[in-house]
Structure 1
């Protein structure tokens, strides 16, 4: 009997491959995502190992100073004069600030021979440095500094004991990209500019045919004469491989994060598969009843249905693996068309087999609950219409009790998390994971009870559209268990999306506030010698390229009796738009008058002062003299003061702290940033003035937040994709199940377009209900997580973003229902009414 029951179930599946694919579509997508992630890791790893290295391909040997001392001139001479060595180049990176009129940027000067196999750069224009105090700048530095071949730059280290060095720009080069402005010169020139004759690294080129291993041993023996200056010698290939593996190790952390999101997608696939099998088995209750009638036992049916699930999982898992492998093999060719180079993956057979077996086990696990439910229905009850069981409402008492227990557990753990947030340390994050798990479990169990009240709200606009809308709402409300099963998967994705959006929005708001304080304008100029600086401000205000030109003065102060020190600034807090956005946690910024002070949150904490208190600020003057000023606190900011200052003063209060540094800030009104920067420098900046591009820091911070949001949404899109697949599958199976109903509606006068609209609305309602449930669960979880992280991020409710998520999810799920809707509309009423 076991064989007969099993053969009956499998023959039905294998004869209808389309139904098999529809049933296991979510598993196919999950297998594609999992194996695709494996292949993506392999592609990135291979590409990095093949193409990434800071060591040029021509380097034969690398000598590194591992101790606290650089390679001495004697050690460098040992390497240069060794047999077989044809070229040696020192590697060094020295940081400078650029003075004079071309001031303000930090400039990194790197050692490079300029040509040959040891070089990492390409000359674009001009000539490469060939004499002392000559440099070649990269394109970014040339644009930012406004220099060309023949320009002179004044470099200083910031150490008053080291005299500035004036260098000549000889050309422009292309080199490895970095966020900083860079310049390049031969190692001897860099050593002369920096005043450090030694190097911590030497790249060595040897003659063809040289035994590198033997030379490594010889050089190591020669260089290890000084125990305090340990030097290691390794081959260029070894160094390149080490650098590439270091880069790959960083990627491993990224793929570990991706793996977490993939795991969530797999959970979503399991939920979709469970819902799909429940519908499929409900449609076959008559067949199962006949098997029970002729003697099949419940356990035999469960076993047969589980084997059916395994076959579906193995087949769709194999299909997902094959599709992922094909996409991986096609990736290098597709990348080449876009001008990029990728190394193709291999064929990881072990991983492929593991994914296929995992897909089978996942499907077996997903099929068990529907199998026990379908096999446990009494024959007489199961011989009724298939839709009768599917339309049952409510939940059994044990399920209701279990759901209420989960709700109570989630609420209790949430209360415990909030109560212990300040003392629990990092384990509070585990509590939050537990709260989310329990809450989502309660949503799964109590979903059928929640569908109708949520549908009453979400479906209200559709009911206003007439009979078609009312039919769509009643179609979802008539099968609350099915609607809950599908909507919960959507809710899982939306919970993650909503939580991410709330977190990123809070981070963006915090970043905007911090950037408004730290970098309130596009450009800033600082002058140690303020003589004639008023003329600079007047000139800038007359230049149409700039707006909101605002002078300021800065000094330093310390806190009497403590080692804390902060910057103090005198500036009009209403002059720059960014400054007008600063918020005070106590007092009011507008209350700043002579004799008062606005403190940053850090300075207020160090002073243990609040609004209305009196504070004393001290400053060390020249010749051991010090000065103090007592001021009333007008306000305490939520973060830093302008330009990261700790105190904002008014009037002449700053002069009582010592000689201030003059400066001016401005926003760019017209032209590109580089053009405005060149004009800003050219308008009479005094000698030794420095110019800072504050907008760069703002752009970098905003770019990091935007990249984080894009990456998170992309990864969470995997879960949403599987949820949409579940909506499409459920809608398709529901259309097959309700063929006679569709025919009756057509016979009663419902047009094809109206029938398509009704089914599309039903699919959209699955997404809409799931989105609402996801936001209700996701937003509080995000707030709880932000509080637990103790990052002082503001709690936000991005209503616009959340509404967009709801509308997008609803629209996508409507699209997922279009194909089943078209299929339903094509069937004639006569044929539909004749369908059993």
Structure 2
């Protein structure tokens, strides 16, 4: 009998491959995502290994120090005179501070031959340095320093007692991309400018026909005569592979994070598969009842249905793997269309087999609960004319009790999470809160559908009969609606929690950068002289706005236990300074004999608003605390004073802040540096730090949304599948509606609204669960981020989710609208 039951179920599945693929569509997508992630890692790794290296391809041998002193001139000479060596290039980087007209910028000077196979740069204009005190700068440095070919720079070197060295810029070059401002010169010239004659690394080009192993042995014998020397000699190929592998390792943590989100997507796929099989088995209740009537046992039906699920998983998993492999093979061609070069991923057979088997096991597990429920059908069901059972409108008492128990457990773990804030157990409790909370949502979902539908469905009822039928269609099958919406809620919960967390991080970043980097550009002068002429010239230049002078000094506590900086600046002069927030007191109350303290300085002084503090430097100032900031003061200062109080404190040095009004940043920076500041003045591009911080937060937000979008995508697949199966199940209902006058357009609208309601209900449930989880995470992990509720972004998530699920229901809606009323009424 078991064989008959099994053959009956599998024959029905295999006769309709389209239904099979639709049933396991979520598993197909999950298999595609999992295997696609494996291939993506392979592509990134192979591309990096094939293309990345800081060592030029022509380098035959590399000698480098692993600690201690660099290779001295005698050791470099020994390398140069080794048999088979054709060319040698020392590698060293020296950092200088550019002075005078181009003030305050760090410039990295790198050693490079400039031409030939060992060079890493390309000359753009001018000539490469050929004499002492000559350098070539890259395009970024040329723009920011405001120099051209033939110009001069004054470099301050740390080992020359502050004496500047004037160098001539002989050329502009393109080199490896980096955020720093870079210059280049031959190795001996860099050594002469830096005062360091040795090199931490030497690249060697072998002559034609040279014996590389013999060269390495010869160099090793010469370089390792001193037993205390920390020198290694290896081939250029080995160094390139080592560098590439080190570069690949930076992707390991990223793909570990991706794997976590992929695992969540797999869980979503399992939930969708469970819901889908529940509907499929419900449509076959009469067939299952007939099998029971002719002697099939319940356990035989469970086994047959589980095997059916495994077959569906294996087939759809295989299709997903094949589609991902095809996409992997197409990646190099697609990248070439955009001017990029990537390596092919190969065919990881082991991973492919593992994904296919995993898909089969996942589906077999997902089908168990629906299989047990369907196998319990009564044989009398075979006598009914309908092929499905009436929808269950409520939930059983055990399910209700279990759901309430999970709610209580969730509350208890959440209380433990709050109690353990900042401890190592907080993260574990937080994960437990989320897991049990989502479990409660799964069990109590049908109960929650009604109140949410009453609110979310109210606008839809204004669309007339189509809207009312859509709302009643969802409300008539609350268990089905809950099963689908909970999958949507899984993705939205994590997405909403992430959005709240990143929005809080963005707010904290904005506040922090508003104090630390209140302007685009800053100038810091040495001594106590003023910058009045510089301020006047900058204010007359249309490229700048909000030019604001300031002065700074250091102060310490009465016992000298700590020190901070104090600044006198007009807090209303610049837009960002006007955004400074106080945790206590009022920033606007600053005046003579008053002080605004940073949070750190207030803690160190043990002072609160209204108390009088004593600040000591060359002089002493007693001031009343009128405000305590939420973070640092402007430019990381610990106190803000009036100009008169800062003068009394003594030791003040001047500076200027300015925002860029027009033109590019590099052009404005060159003009800012050329405003006539005295020697020793430093310039800081504060906008770079602000842009970097904003870019990191934006990249984090984009990556999180993209990864969590996988779960929402699979949820949308579940909505489309459920809607499609519902259309098949309700063919007679739709036929009757058409016979009573419902047009094709109104029928499509009704089905689209139902699909959208799945997404909207799931979004509401997800937001209701995700926002408290985000608050718990911020508080329990002691991240010190200001909790914010980005209502606009959360509303956008709900709207986008509903829109995606509406689109997922379009195809089933079109299919339902094409059936004639007569055919629909005759269908069983």
Q: More displaced, 710-719 or 599-608?
A: 599-608
| Aligned match of 1:717 | 709
Q: Are 1:771 and 2:763 matched, yes or no?
A: yes
**Distance in 2 of aligned mates of 1:679 and 1:63:** 43
Secondary structure of the structure 2 residue equivalent to 1:281: helix
| Aligned match of 2:465 | 467
| Aligned match of 1:298 | 298
CA deviations over 1:374-413 (Å, ceiling 9, x no partner): 0012122465465763511111111111111111111000
**Distance in 2 of aligned mates of 1:94 and 1:812:** 55
Q: Is the Cα–Cα contact under 8 Å of residues 70 and 229 in structure 1 kept in the other structure?
A: no
Q: Are 1:606 and 2:598 matched, yes or no?
A: no
Q: Is the Cα–Cα contact under 8 Å of residues 522 and 695 in structure 1 kept in the other structure?
A: yes
Question: Structure 1 residues 378 and 109 mapped into 2: Cα distance closer, same or farther (>3 Å)?
Answer: same
| Aligned match of 2:537 | 539
Secondary structure of the structure 1 residue equivalent to 2:565: strand
Runs of 4+ in 1 over 6 A off after TM superposition: none
Residue 697 of structure 1 deviates from its aligned partner by: 1.0
**Distance in 2 of aligned mates of 1:275 and 1:117:** 63
Residue 529 of structure 1 deviates from its aligned partner by: 4.3
1:156-555 equivalences under 5 Å are: 156-157=156-157, 161-381=161-381, 383-384=383-384, 389-422=389-422, 424-425=423-424, 427-529=425-527, 531=529, 533-555=531-553
Q: Is the Cα–Cα contact under 8 Å of residues 282 and 390 in structure 1 kept in the other structure?
A: no
TM-score by length of 1: 0.97
Q: Are 1:750 and 2:742 matched, yes or no?
A: yes
Q: Is the Cα–Cα contact under 8 Å of residues 282 and 374 in structure 1 kept in the other structure?
A: yes
Residue 609 of structure 1 deviates from its aligned partner by: 1.5
Question: Structure 1 residues 70 and 535 mapped into 2: Cα distance closer, same or farther (>3 Å)?
Answer: same
Residue 627 of structure 1 deviates from its aligned partner by: 3.7
Q: Is the Cα–Cα contact under 8 Å of residues 545 and 659 in structure 2 kept in the other structure?
A: yes
Q: Is the Cα–Cα contact under 8 Å of residues 97 and 157 in structure 1 kept in the other structure?
A: yes
Q: More displaced, 514-523 or 690-699?
A: 690-699
Secondary structure of the structure 2 residue equivalent to 1:635: strand
CA deviations over 1:480-533 (Å, ceiling 9, x no partner): 110000000000000111011111101111111111001101111111145451
Residue 704 of structure 1 deviates from its aligned partner by: 0.7
Q: Are 1:17 and 2:17 matched, yes or no?
A: yes
1:101-116 equivalences under 5 Å are: 101-116=101-116
**Distance in 2 of aligned mates of 1:52 and 1:385:** 69
| Match among 660, 666, 678 for residue 658 of structure 2 | 666
Q: More displaced, 683-692 or 795-804?
A: 683-692
Q: Are 1:684 and 2:676 matched, yes or no?
A: yes
CA deviations over 1:286-340 (Å, ceiling 9, x no partner): 0000000011110111111111101100000000000000000000010001000
Question: Structure 1 residues 834 and 194 mapped into 2: Cα distance closer, same or farther (>3 Å)?
Answer: same
Q: Are 1:792 and 2:790 matched, yes or no?
A: no
Residue 70 of structure 1 deviates from its aligned partner by: 1.3
Q: Are 1:810 and 2:808 matched, yes or no?
A: no
Q: Is the Cα–Cα contact under 8 Å of residues 593 and 651 in structure 1 kept in the other structure?
A: no
**Distance in 1 of aligned mates of 2:185 and 2:648:** 46
**Distance in 2 of aligned mates of 1:387 and 1:112:** 80
| Aligned match of 2:146 | 146
Q: More displaced, 117-126 or 782-791?
A: 782-791
Residue 588 of structure 1 deviates from its aligned partner by: 1.2
**Distance in 2 of aligned mates of 1:139 and 1:387:** 74
Q: Is the Cα–Cα contact under 8 Å of residues 519 and 686 in structure 2 kept in the other structure?
A: yes
Question: Structure 1 residues 487 and 386 mapped into 2: Cα distance closer, same or farther (>3 Å)?
Answer: farther
Question: Structure 1 residues 545 and 392 mapped into 2: Cα distance closer, same or farther (>3 Å)?
Answer: same
**Distance in 1 of aligned mates of 2:514 and 2:43:** 41
Q: Is the Cα–Cα contact under 8 Å of residues 504 and 787 in structure 2 kept in the other structure?
A: yes
**Distance in 2 of aligned mates of 1:197 and 1:404:** 75
Question: Structure 1 residues 563 and 50 mapped into 2: Cα distance closer, same or farther (>3 Å)?
Answer: farther
Q: Is the Cα–Cα contact under 8 Å of residues 552 and 664 in structure 1 kept in the other structure?
A: yes
Secondary structure of the structure 1 residue equivalent to 2:275: helix
**Distance in 2 of aligned mates of 1:160 and 1:128:** 25
Q: Is the Cα–Cα contact under 8 Å of residues 284 and 386 in structure 1 kept in the other structure?
A: no
Secondary structure of the structure 2 residue equivalent to 1:464: helix
**Distance in 1 of aligned mates of 2:802 and 2:16:** 31
Residue 534 of structure 1 deviates from its aligned partner by: 0.6
| Aligned match of 2:586 | 588
CA deviations over 1:14-39 (Å, ceiling 9, x no partner): 01011001000000000000000001
| Aligned match of 1:622 | none
List gaps (5 residues or longer) in structure 1. Answer: 620-625
Q: Is the Cα–Cα contact under 8 Å of residues 137 and 173 in structure 2 kept in the other structure?
A: yes
Question: Structure 1 residues 540 and 639 mapped into 2: Cα distance closer, same or farther (>3 Å)?
Answer: same
**Distance in 1 of aligned mates of 2:809 and 2:16:** 21
**Distance in 2 of aligned mates of 1:191 and 1:566:** 38
| Aligned match of 2:818 | 826
Q: Are 1:645 and 2:643 matched, yes or no?
A: no
Secondary structure of the structure 1 residue equivalent to 2:367: helix
Q: Are 1:119 and 2:119 matched, yes or no?
A: yes
Secondary structure of the structure 1 residue equivalent to 2:643: coil
**Distance in 2 of aligned mates of 1:228 and 1:509:** 53
**Distance in 1 of aligned mates of 2:159 and 2:390:** 80
**Distance in 2 of aligned mates of 1:192 and 1:322:** 60
| Aligned match of 2:84 | 84
**Distance in 1 of aligned mates of 2:384 and 2:732:** 15
**Distance in 2 of aligned mates of 1:481 and 1:718:** 24
List gaps (5 residues or longer) in structure 2. Answer: none
**Distance in 1 of aligned mates of 2:314 and 2:272:** 16
**Distance in 2 of aligned mates of 1:683 and 1:162:** 23
Residue 563 of structure 1 deviates from its aligned partner by: 4.2
**Distance in 2 of aligned mates of 1:742 and 1:181:** 69
Q: Is the Cα–Cα contact under 8 Å of residues 159 and 195 in structure 2 kept in the other structure?
A: no
Q: Is the Cα–Cα contact under 8 Å of residues 67 and 228 in structure 1 kept in the other structure?
A: no
Q: Are 1:761 and 2:792 matched, yes or no?
A: no
Q: Is the Cα–Cα contact under 8 Å of residues 284 and 388 in structure 2 kept in the other structure?
A: no
Q: Are 1:628 and 2:620 matched, yes or no?
A: yes
RMSD of aligned residue pairs (Cα, Å): 1.4
**Distance in 1 of aligned mates of 2:68 and 2:649:** 40
Q: Are 1:615 and 2:607 matched, yes or no?
A: no
**Distance in 2 of aligned mates of 1:405 and 1:273:** 26
Q: Is the Cα–Cα contact under 8 Å of residues 545 and 671 in structure 1 kept in the other structure?
A: yes
| Aligned match of 1:135 | 135
Q: Is the Cα–Cα contact under 8 Å of residues 285 and 388 in structure 2 kept in the other structure?
A: no
Q: Is the Cα–Cα contact under 8 Å of residues 23 and 273 in structure 1 kept in the other structure?
A: yes
**Distance in 2 of aligned mates of 1:540 and 1:447:** 64
Secondary structure of the structure 2 residue equivalent to 1:184: strand
Q: More displaced, 242-251 or 759-768?
A: 242-251
Residue 217 of structure 1 deviates from its aligned partner by: 2.5
Secondary structure of the structure 2 residue equivalent to 1:144: helix
Q: More displaced, 728-737 or 555-564?
A: 555-564
Residue 228 of structure 1 deviates from its aligned partner by: 3.5
| Aligned match of 1:623 | none
Residue 607 of structure 1 deviates from its aligned partner by: 1.6
